[in-house]
Amino acid sequence: MEEIKDFEKFYNTKLKPILSDLKLQNSDASGWRVASLIFLMFAIVCFFLSQIIVGISLLIFVLISIYKYKKKKTIFIKSFKETVTGEVIKYLETGLIYKPDEYISPVDYEKSSLFRKIYDNYNGSGFISGYSNNVNFFCSELETSYEKLPGGSAVATIFRGLFFAIPLKIYFTGAIYIWPKGDEQLTKSFVDDYYSLFPLGEVYSIHLNDSVFENIFSVYSTHPENIAPFIDYEFREVLINLVKQLRKEIRFSIVGGICYLSISINNVLLKPSFSNTENIELAKEYYFSVQLILNVISQLNLKRFV
- Say what the alpha-carbon torsion angle 144, 147, 153, 154 is, to the nearest 10 degrees: -80
**Per-residue model confidence as pLDDT tens for the chain (306 residues):** 344 446 777 777 777 777 766 666 666 677 777 888 888 888 888 888 888 888 888 888 889 888 888 887 777 777 777 777 888 888 888 889 998 889 999 999 999 999 998 899 999 988 999 999 889 999 999 999 988 877 666 889 999 999 999 998 877 778 999 999 999 888 765 555 666 777 777 889 999 989 999 999 999 999 888 887 888 899 999 999 999 999 999 999 999 889 999 999 887 665 555 455 555 666 777 788 888 899 999 998 887 776
DSSP, res 265 = -
For residue 251, what are the β-bridge partners?
Answer: 262
Q: What is the pTM of this model?
A: 0.79
Residue 156 identity: A
Q: How many CA atoms lie within 13 A of 239 on its CB side?
A: 27
- pLDDT for 260: 96
How many residues appear in the chain?
Answer: 306
| Interatomic CA distance for residues 130 and 138, integer angstroms | 7
| Interatomic CA distance for residues 72 and 74, integer angstroms | 5
Buried b (16+ CB within 10 A) or exposed e, 119-140: beebebbbbbbbebbebbbbbb
Inter-residue contact 104 to 140 (CB < 8 Å)? yes
Determine the angle formed by the axes of helices 16-48 and 52-80, rounding to 10 degrees: 170
| Interatomic CA distance for residues 93 and 48, integer angstroms | 60
CB atoms within 10 A of CB 244: 9
R_g (Cα) of the chain, nearest Å: 24
| Interatomic CA distance for residues 84 and 73, integer angstroms | 16
| Interatomic CA distance for residues 7 and 276, integer angstroms | 18
Q: How many CA atoms lie within 13 A of 195 on its CB side?
A: 15
- Say what the alpha-carbon torsion angle 226, 230, 236, 238 is, to the nearest 10 degrees: -170
